[in-house]
Amino acid sequence: MGIKEQLGSRIRELRLKNNLKQSELAEMVNIATKHQSCIETGKNYPSADLIEKYAKAFKIEPCELLQIAHEKDINIIIDEINAMIKNADEEKIRLIYKILKATCE
């Protein structure tokens, strides 16, 4: 995973930790929701000014935002799993169930 993807993942992690929707965070930092999505998926890289706005929105220092080598909090992992399930179609949900069942038995 490249640095754009890692930073995008970090921003997504912090957004979920702060119980924000993409549209809410985008509004807080004054960008379009589509741009927010592209940043979180690593398609776009935020400017230095935008990184400062994210840090302010998350009430952290910019250096904390840029700490992309980290271990995810278990609650973030659960939120990400729930988001994946929520956005999955029926076929994918059945596959996820089979994988979890096989893994947890």
pLDDT digits (tens, 9 = 90+) for 65-95: 888 755 667 777 788 888 888 888 999 999 9
Residues of the chain with pLDDT > 70, as a percent, come to 95
| pLDDT at residue 99, rounded to an integer | 87
* Cβ-based neighbour number of residue 45 at 10 Å: 15
* Signed CA dihedral, 9, 10, 11, 17: sign only: positive
3-state SS assignment for residue 31 = coil
What pLDDT was estimated at residue 80?
Answer: 84
From the DSSP assignment, how many helices (H) and strands (E) are in the chain? Answer: 7, 0
| Encoded tokens for 102 | 């096989």
Residues 6+ apart with CB under 8 A from 96: 84, 85, 88
pLDDT digits (tens, 9 = 90+) for 15-28: 999 999 999 999 99
Q: What is the pLDDT of residue 50?
A: 96
